[in-house]
Chain A
Amino acid sequence: MTEAALNQADPASGIEGVIDDWSADKQAYHVPWGKLMMWIFLVSDTFIFTCFLTGYMHVRLSTTAPWPPQSEIFALSFGGDPIPLILIAIMTFILITSSGTMALAVNFGYRRDKAKTFMFMCATAALGASFVGMQAFEWTKLIEEGVRPWGNPFGAAQFGSVFFMVTGFHGLHVTGGVIYLLIIANKVRKGHYDKKGFEIVEIAGLYWHFVDLVWVFIFAFFYLL
C-alpha cells in the first residue's frame, strides 16, 4: 500500500470509523491540519469562557448582596418609555446575521466564487465591527451610570467585574475576528488561495461562528437570567 492510500479516510463511519481511524499507524484526522488546529484552539477557548461563566455563576450564588436587575439596567429609550434589553437584542440579531453571511462566504469559497466570498466576508466583518461599536456604547452608558469593576450603585459589586470581564473578553474576540476576516478576505480577493484551495475561509468561519456561539451563552446567562 502506498503512503497516500494509508492516509485516506476509511470508508467506515460512526463508531466503527473512530476505531478504524485510531487503530493503525496512520493519519487519524482526515481534515486539513489548519482546520484541526483551529478546532483545538476553539476547544481551549471554550474552557476559558466556561471558566469565566462558572466564576460568574459562583460569585452570583455566593454574594449576599442583591443582583442588579439587568433588564432595567440594559434598557434603552428611543424618545418614549425605556424598552428593556433592546440594545442587547439588536446586538444578538446582528451577530446572528453575521454568522449567516459567514456561512454563505464559506459556501461561495468552496464554489470558488471569489467575488462573492470577498463580499460576504466583508459584510461579516462590517456587522462584527458594528457589534463592537454597540458594545462600546453600552460600556460608556454603564460607566456613566457609575458601574465599576469594584462596585455599582444598583447592588452586588460583582456585577461590574463580571460585566467588564466577560463582555470585554468577548468583544476582544470579535475585534480580533474582524481583523482576521478582513485579512483573509483581502487574500481571497488577491487570489492567494486559487491553488491551495479555500479551506481557509471555512477555518475563519469556524472562529467566527464560535464567537457567535459564546454570545449565545452570555446572552442567556448574563443578560436574561
Chain B
Amino acid sequence: MSSEAGQQHPLGIYYKIWILLFVLSSFSYAVDFFEVQGAMRWSLVLLFMVLKAGFIVAVFMHVMWERMTLIFTILGPPIVLLLLIGFMIFEGNYVSETRYQYRGHDRDAVALGPNDLHHEEEAH
C-alpha cells in the first residue's frame, strides 16, 4: 500500500470490524452481568480486551497496512511497559504481604456496596 495515495480501503472491512467490536463489548458486559468470577472472569475480560484493542489498532488505525518500519516504531517502545507492569506486580504484592504480616492489617475485611450502606441507614 503506498502511503502517498493515503489509506484507502473498501468500506466493508470497517463495517465488519465495527460490528465485531460491538459483539466483543457485549461479551465483556455479559461477563459482569452474569457475575462470572475468579480466573474465568479474568481470562474472558482480558481476552475480549486484547481482541478489541487489536482490531482497533490494526484496522481502524490502519497499522496492518503500514510499512514494517512504522509498525516497529509504534509497537516497539510500549513493550518496555510490560517490564514496568511486571516489576509493579511483584512490588505491590510484597507491600500488601508486609502490611498483613507486620502491621496487623485484616486479611478478611469485606467491602461495602451502596446497598449495604442504605440498609444500615434504615436499621438505625
Give the nearest-CB partner of B85 in chain A: A54
Contacts of A43 in B (CB 8 A): 73-74, 77-78
B117 to chain A, nearest CB (A): 6
A169 at the interface (CB under 8 A from B): no
Residue A79 at the chain B interface, CB threshold 8 Å: no
A14 to B70, CA, bound (A): 11
CB pair A155 B111 closer than 8 Å: yes
Q: Are B25 and A54 in contact (CB under 8 A)?
A: no
* Interface size, chain B (Cβ < 8 Å): 68
Chain A interface bracket (under 10, 10 to 19, 20 to 34, 35 or more)? 35 or more
B22–A107 contact, CB under 8 A?
no
Set of chain B residues within 8 Å of A22, measured between Cβ atoms? 69
Given A14-B68, A93-B22; A61-B6 close (CB under 8 Å): no
Task: Report the separation of the CA atoms of residues A11 and B42 in the bound assembly, to the nearest whole angstrom.
Answer: 43
Q: Flag if A13 contacts B45 (CB, 8 Å).
A: no
Which residue from B14, B28, B52, B111 sits with its C-beta under 8 Å from A100?
Answer: B14
- Please tell me if the beta carbons of B109 and A225 are within 8 angstroms of each other in the complex: no
B28 touches A224 (CB 8 A): yes
Residue A217 contacts which of B49, B99, B106 (CB distance < 8 angstroms)? B49
B52: A residues at CB distance < 8 A: 216
B residues at A contact (CB < 8 Å): 2-4, 6-9, 11, 14-15, 17-18, 21-22, 25, 28-29, 31-33, 35, 41-42, 45-46, 48-49, 52-53, 56-57, 60-62, 66-70, 72-74, 77-78, 81, 84-85, 88-89, 91-93, 95-96, 99-100, 103, 105-107, 109-115, 117
13 interchain pairs, CB-CB under 8 A: A21-B69, A42-B74, A43-B78, A47-B78, A54-B85, A72-B113, A103-B18, A153-B112, A198-B6, A209-B57, A212-B56, A225-B41, A225-B42
